[in-house]
A and B are shown apart, each in its own frame.
Chain A
Amino acid sequence: MGYSKEHLAQLEYGEGKVLYGDTPLAILKAFLQSGVSYLGGYPGSPTAGLIDAISDAYKDVLKDKGIYFDCSGNEASAASLLSASISYPIRGSVNWKIVGTNVASDALSHISSSGVTGGALIIVGEDYGCDSTCVAERALPFALKSTMAVIDPRGDLGHVAKMVQAGFELSECSNMPVMFLLSTRVAHIRNKMVCRDNQIPAISMNNRLDDLITEQETIPLPPFTFDQEKKKFQERIPAAKKFILERKLNEFIEGTETNIGIITHGMIFNSLMRCLYNLGEANLYGETRIPMLNLNVTNPLVPEEIILFMRDKKAVLIVEEGMPNLIEEQIRSIAQRAKLGLDIFGKDILPQAGEFTPDHIAKGVGTFLLKNTVNNYEREKIKERSEFTEKHKQKAAGFLKDPVAKRNPVFCTGCPERPIFTAIKILEEDYGRSYYASDIGCYSMSGLPPFDLSNSITGMGIGLASAGALSRMANKRVVSFMGDGTFWHSGLTTSISNAVYNNQNAILIILENFWTSMTGHHENPASGKNMRQEGVGMDIEKALKGTGVRWIKAVDPYNLQDSINVLTEAYEEDEGLRVIISRGECQLEKTRRERVVLKSKLKSGKRMVQKKLGVDPDLCTGDHSCMRYNGCPSLTLKESPTILRDDPVAHIEQSCVGCGLCGEIAHAAVLCPSFYKVEIIENPSMLDRVGARINKSLLHLISRNGWSG
């Protein structure tokens, strides 16, 4: 986890030195090379890695340079940070995942209306393939409505870094905040890149502004708002276009072919190039028969460039991922205005929605080529090659009658969040199903097997609020889940204040595990420290009391029976908001920390008790009820010890961390006597030894079977 000292040391590299690392490290390096003064953001895929890099580098690299790092409370706080760049020549960058843009929107609208003096770069995790908990949306429409420039880099570390630096300049010369799209696959590249010298920011924590002058024109209030609106389109956009053109931010790739061409953007360029290579149309160095225009800046588009590329061509294919296909529509209108009489293909021959996987691109390009090829032999070749990937995929998918079992994500071994869902599952037998309003976090997985406890997922901190109407209009109990991360992100206001204010009849379960775990363990206000590793204690219970919640109970998730009792209380009480705080640290983080302590204790010879759970294979009859209540990765299956049983029995692997849940379940759900807990005493004391010996001899008295413990 995290970035090693060696990795971070590379951030100090100067001109010409070669850095090895992943995209977040490259971007952070580019920040330093651009003389950035402040950074901020809210963790989420695929930008979480960038926050990691920043927070890991803060103490040793950023702080000395006077660079401010804001551990933003949510995306709105992050976005508002950019106002520092409105009136002052200060460069700053913030980041969040695609859906975070919605949270940030209020601030973004205002800042982009005021316009910026210093370069303001927003790294948005574009995740159109939905590799994380998000919806398939793109950032481009958002940038258009607030008039921000958009950079969409292709997949290459050096290029990404170059584009980051260009982004700051673009922002400054056009006075627009710039959105920099970081797609999931680009975000996870590991490669080398050539560095440039870092710039020390002129204004920073070390070198502060003395007086703050603000031009009234920059305040988004009438009458200035109207002028700002004018400026957007009369000054900022034109300035941006000029800069893009002069700096050649978009790439023209000459081809031997003159009649046709392809326009694309971002990482799709890499996939497209590979498809052309497989089609025999290009080599691996990107030398292609078909001319190409690769848009690294997808807003604003530069009509001159588009026209220059399309002029004298008979047909052009636009390979644009995502809907709405604004690039294509704009290009079509540019062509129409310029009266270019050429065929333009796009979403009509490429899939409209969904991630552009290689098979889709290959087929689309093939269709395009066929429309522009007459030679029959050629046509056959194109057809065969362009459909190869798709056909191969189908062949593989259809090969087995019985499709390969799916593997859905599960709560980790020893997870403190899982037991609550077990408790609810057990209670369903007496109380029936409730309406489960879930939220964004690890606990979103409660909607998956074995629990299936999710009727809706509406967004960060919104779960409870989303059930507002239903809690009065349905004859169902409303149970909502929220993490400590989402609680402090927005849940406190969006859901809890709202619930108290409306006297909502619902049960809210806050899973306080002290980390924002889903994004890869980021500190949050519950952690007791921020991402700058400065101690801060924020108390959920006090906050709840402050909003006027009366019914608050805390439970230890590993005490299943207790949780069941408290839940029962909450179920029986049929009015107002009942909040249950389930408190238990994220097991992953805990084990990571304790593994070290454990080793040292073992060495130092200190007495120490370790717990592990087990299953008696000859007592387990293999009905697997325990699995249907649990879903722990270390609780799995194995062959029955007796040849009389054909079906597998339950088995607990060495990865068990001894949380004891499976035993608790066997008790609470009255399942079976197969589970046992072993307490292993490392470095036993004299007392332990003697006790054990006496015990042993006593046991021998009764059993007389040479019992050996």
Chain B
Amino acid sequence: MQGKSDLIKIFIPAVGGQGGGVLTEWLVQAFFRGEFDVQGISLPGLSQRGGSTVYYLEAYPKSTGNKEIIFAQFPVPGEVDIIVAQEFLELGRALELGYGSDITTIVTSTHRIYSTLEKLPIGSGIYSDENLRKLARAFSSDLIELNALELSKANGMDELAVNAILLGALCASGALPLEKKSFTDAIEEVGVAVKSNLRAFEVGWDYIDSKKYQGQDAKPGHPWEKFIDERAQKLEGNSREEYLLRTNEIESQYPVNIREILAESVLRLKEYQDYKYADRYLAQVYNVFQIDERVKGGGYKLTEHYAKNLALLMSYEDGIRVAELKIKSERFKRIKENMRLRDDQVFKVIDYLKPDAEEVYGLLPYYLVSPVLSFTRTSLFKKIWRRKRPLTFGQTPTTTSFSGFLRLWLLTRIKFMRPQSYRYRKEYALINKYMESVKVYSQYDYKLGCLIAKSVGMVKGYGKVRRRTMDAFYRFIDNIVFPLSEFERDSRKNFDITLEIGEEAIKLINGESIDGIDKAEKLVRDVLERRAA
């Protein structure tokens, strides 16, 4: 309202325990050095506990004479001059509360610390960065973005360096009438990890001062050749030839946005079983690709969803797969990198494995398992077997030890039995259902086909979780898509309802509980009743 005045108001949204207090203290001290009267406020609330916290500063040129400025403890929405945001979602929340406006300079880190609510959904609950960016653009006069966390990592610093980096960025932005020295002196005065914070400050300062931040983002897309080469590197001699043979074929047959998916899938399925297996996959995808070719203008969405999901289904995670990935040499390399291990350190990797009964007998041949299973359903068995909780086989092998490694390695040796296994049959019932549904429904309507092709993504997890998500998928096809589409086929020309409810159902199922399918089914019943009436 008053627009810019000599009074400087700084709002600092932060995440509890991320050092926002120190950042505020630096600013207070910097202002003192710049001959300002200043008041800092911190509202830790439930501080250490990762909730949202807020800091607020007001500064005014040192008053001459005996008049004293009256500082406010409450930031006024629309009157804040500068927002320094420690984390991107917190910036969004601050702006949503109205603290940003066309007089506000925003200096923000774009890194995310996901909130619990974002982590819970079965699908992705991550809040869109694009939305946050929209807000930031709309409610600022000047927006300075930098991923302070990446910067700190890139410079071998810990996550708390984010604060000094932001301070440096703020200083370089020139948004404050303070000398660079005031800031560095402040860091020394406050005395928290002075050396590393001064370094971090310089990193942030340089990053903005050298204008590196402009026109950043948009990560470089892999060119096809590089993509293939990376993967071919993992294979030896003959196998590599085989692989390149197929990728060349893929290159000749498919549009760019499908190629990488197929190349990735072929490698995955070859590792999973063999090239014969991968070829079966390619053949399947090709059929669906034909539909896409006919439709045109679909942007090959159908094939994209189908190719991704079919590959995942065909490489379902059974004991063999798990064992293979657990003893892969790349795995230990990755762990060493992630844990920043040096060679002078000795390390052990202990795995938490707990297959349930089905995951174990699932590996055995179908004709062995099925009779036993049918026996377990008899009342006689129930008399003998009184155990309430399901049978599980918990173990924590030290995979880096000879014995632990050997156990897993032996498991990988029975790969050849996989196609005869009980689990294989079960998974293939699902896969066939999927393949068939995609074909049928894409005949009805292209969009509908895409919906089905995408929907199977809901099948996830291990043991009981996977069983429940599998069940959810069957019910999705039979109790949601089928009745709705049948209804629309007779009564109308398009499949708008099926598409809308279908999308809604997928959202529900991918929500915070697998029971979402129940809600979805009810939704369908209601819709059909309403329509019938």
Contact = CB atoms under 8 A, between A and B. Distances in A.
Interface string A219-248: 000000000000000000000000000000
A621 B124 contact: no
- The 6 closest A-B CB pairs, nearest first, are A409-B51, A185-B73, A392-B78, A407-B115, A623-B460, A396-B98
Given A189-B73, A286-B70, A702-B406, A627 B120 contact: yes
A411 B38 CA distance: 34
Contacts of B124: 637, 646-648
B123 A689 contact: no
A270 B63 CA distance: 18
A314 to B, nearest CB: 27
A645 B458 CA distance: 11
B123 A271 contact: no
A583 interface: no
Given A188-B44, A407-B52, 6 more contacts: A267-B73, A402-B128, A449-B116, A646-B457, A672-B461, A673-B462
Interface stretch (A272-280, A455-463, A485-493): A272-280
B355 to A, nearest CB: 8
Interface of B: 1-2, 5, 7, 15-17, 24-25, 28, 32, 38-52, 60, 63, 67-79, 89-90, 92-93, 95-98, 100-101, 113-128, 131-132, 134-135, 138-139, 158-159, 191, 260-261, 264-265, 268, 308-309, 311-312, 317, 322, 325-327, 329, 331-333, 335, 338-341, 344-356, 388-390, 392, 394, 396, 399-402, 405-406, 409, 457, 460-466, 469, 512
A285 B68 contact: yes
11 contacts: A132-B45, A267-B73, A392-B101, A405-B118, A408-B51, A408-B115, A449-B116, A450-B120, A619-B317, A673-B462, A677-B351
A679 interface: yes
A404 B89 contact: yes
Given A270-B71, A278-B2, A406 B460 contact: no
Contacts of A449: 116-117, 120
Contacts of B309: 644
Contacts of B406: 702
A671 interface: yes
Contact of B389 (A430, A445, A612): A430
Interface stretch (A84-92, A536-544, A680-688): A680-688
Contacts of B60: 284
Contacts of B123: 647
B89 A405 contact: yes
A270 B465 contact: no
A630 B119 CA distance: 10
Contact of B465 (A191, A412, A625, A631): A625
Contacts of A642: 264, 268
A362 to B, nearest CB: 8
A450 B116 contact: yes
Interface of A: 4, 20, 131-133, 155-156, 184-186, 188-191, 267, 270-271, 273-275, 277-278, 280, 284-286, 357-359, 385, 388-389, 392-393, 395-397, 399-400, 402-412, 430, 442, 445, 448-450, 518, 520, 588, 612, 614, 616, 618-619, 621-625, 627-628, 631, 633, 635-637, 642-648, 654-655, 663-664, 666-667, 670-673, 675-682, 684, 688-689, 691-692, 695, 698-699, 702-703, 705-709
Given A274-B76, A430-B389, A648-B124, A408 B7 contact: no
Contacts of A612: 339
Contact of A188 (B42, B68, B389): B42
Given A284-B70, A677-B349, A667 B97 contact: no
Contacts of B92: 404
Contacts of A622: 460
A366 B297 CA distance: 58
Nearest to A448: B116
Given A404-B92, A671-B462, A410 B311 contact: no
Contacts of A404: 89, 92-93, 96, 127, 131-132, 135
B72 A274 contact: yes
- Most chain-A CB neighbours within 10 Å: which of B49, B191, B332, B469? B49
B114 A624 contact: no
A407 to B, nearest CB: 4
Contacts of B159: 654-655
A445 B16 CA distance: 15
A393 B341 CA distance: 49
A614 B339 CA distance: 9
A627 B115 CA distance: 11
A387 to B, nearest CB: 10
Contact of B350 (A618, A636, A676): A676
Contacts of A407: 15, 50-52, 89-90, 93, 115-117
Contacts of B42: 188, 190
A282 B125 CA distance: 47
Contact of B347 (A267, A648, A681): A681
A184 B265 CA distance: 58
A189 B41 contact: yes
A267 B90 CA distance: 26
Contacts of B463: 670-672
Nearest to B514: A623
B462 A406 contact: no
A706 B329 contact: yes
Given A270-B70, A412-B17, A278 B394 contact: no
B404 to A, nearest CB: 10
A392 B28 CA distance: 28
Given A285-B70, A614-B335, A703 B353 contact: no
B312 A405 contact: no
B89 A699 contact: no
B310 to A, nearest CB: 9
Contacts of B49: 409-412, 442, 445
Given A412-B50, A673-B353, A695-B400, A680 B98 contact: no
Contacts of A410: 49-51, 116
